[in-house]
Each structure stands twice: as structure tokens, then as C-alpha cells.
Amino acid sequence: MRRLNQDAVIAIFLILASGVLFWSTFSIRSPDYGVLAPSAWPRVIIIVLAILSVIYLIQSVGKEQPAADQKAQAGRQPGVAGWLVYWKNPIFCFVLFLVYLLTLPLLGSLIGGVSFVFILMSILGGISKENVLTHATLALATVGGMWIIFTYGLEVILPQGVIFSAF
């Protein structure tokens, strides 16, 4: 039954999102010239989205969760804690990337990038004496190498960050 709920929830979310988006199209200004109003195309897409979402909702009613999906998540413990444990690696990645973005003005792409790769490797692969050295070397060589290519080879100005700019 869980699959039914999941699909139905997505379908309901999409229907609601269609409603909000359709409502927002009324704030799109139309110029006095041109035949196709700027709001026309988004409205067509949103109407199709809403119709498909309703079909999706109808489809999801009365459907069991596929056996393959049930098997794929068989090892998952119930509850929020189980969900967090099951998805911990992707969650770490997202959170770390979010931290990387938030600290970009401070750390810049070199220090921030190397730190991001090193910390992510250490979280995903575990920390041991050999690992730390390998992770640090790989992070420095790859991100550092790419930073050098972009900065000096391709002359792309990457975010320097407050710390790096001080030197």
C-alpha cells in the first residue's frame, strides 16, 4: 500500500503545484504587441501538467507497490530514524554541498572545493590513517588541478573567497 500512497502524494502535490503555478501566470504582464501572450505557453504547459497529474492520481489508486521496489527498500528500518539511516549518504552529500555553497564567499572555490571533497570522502569512506592521506591527496590533486587549469589555463575567474584574497 505504501507505493499507492507515495504515487498518490506525488500526484496530489503536482495538482496543487499546477494550481499555484497557474495562478501565478496571471501576474505575467502582457505587452500591447505580439500575438502570443507571454503567459499563454506556460498556461498550456500547466494545464497539460494538471491533466496528466489527475491521470497519474487515478492510476495510482488501487495499485500495489511493485515487488521490486519493496525488495529494494527491504533493509530499511521503519520510522524517521530508519529513513535517515537508509538515505544518510545522499543526505550527507546534499548537506555538504549546501555548506560548500553557503561558505563559498568566505572560503572560495579552491579551499571550499578541496575541503568539500576531502570531508565528503572521509564521511562516505570512513576515516583511518591511510584513508586520510589518500583523501587529502586526491582532493588536493583533483580540485587543485582543475582550479589551476581554469584560473591560469582558461583564465576563468573563480570565487576567491575572503581567506584566499587576504594572501
Partner 1 sequence: MVIENVLAALNELATFQTALLMMIGVAGGLIAGAIPGFTIVMAVVLTLPFTFGMPAVQGIATMVSVLVGGLSGGLMAGILTGIPGTPSSVATTFDGYPMAKKGNAGLALGLGVWSSFFGGIISAILLMTLAPQLAQVGLEFQPWDYFMLVMFALTITASLAGKNLVKGLLAGVVGLLVRAVGEDEAVGMARLNFGNDALLQGFDFIAVLIGLFAFSRLLHDVRDPESAKRRLSGGEKQFTVNIEHLQAIKTIFKHWTLLIRSSLIGVFTGVLPGAGGSIANILAYDQAKKTSKNPEKFGKGTPEGIIAPESSNNAVEGGALMTLMALGIPGDVTAAVMLGALLVHDIVPSPTFIAEEPVLAYSIFLSFFFATFMMLGLQSGMLRVFVLVTRVRMYMLAAIILGLCGIGVYAINNIEFDLWTLLWFGILGFLMRQFGFPLAPMILGVVLGNIAELNLARAMAITTDLTPFVTRPWALFFLIIAIFSAVFPIYQNNRGQEKWTLFYLPLACFAAAVPLFMMGGLPRPTLAALVVLFGVYTLWRRAQSGWKLSPAVADDVTISEE
Positions in the binding site for partner 1 (CB under 8 A) = 6-7, 10, 14, 21, 24-25, 28-31, 33-36, 38-39, 41-42, 45-46, 48-49, 52-53, 55-56, 59, 69, 87-90, 93-94, 97-98, 100-101, 104, 109, 112-114, 116-117, 120-121, 124-126, 134-135, 138-139, 142-143, 146-147, 149-150, 153-159
C-alpha cell at 28: 505575467
Residue spans of alpha helices (H) in 2-78 = 2-24, 40-60, 67-72
Using the minimum distance from each CB to partner 1, give the nearer residue, 78 or 126.
126
Residue 76 C-beta: closest distance to partner 1, Å: 11
Using the minimum distance from each CB to partner 1, give the nearer residue, 79 or 119.
119
Rounded Cα distance, 94 and 20, in Å: 27
C-alpha cell at 98: 549546501
Residue 36 C-beta: closest distance to partner 1, Å: 4
C-alpha cell at 166: 587576504
Biggest distance spanned by C-alpha atoms of the chain: 69
Do residues 57 and 64 lie in contact, with contact meaning Cβ atoms separated by under 8 Å? no
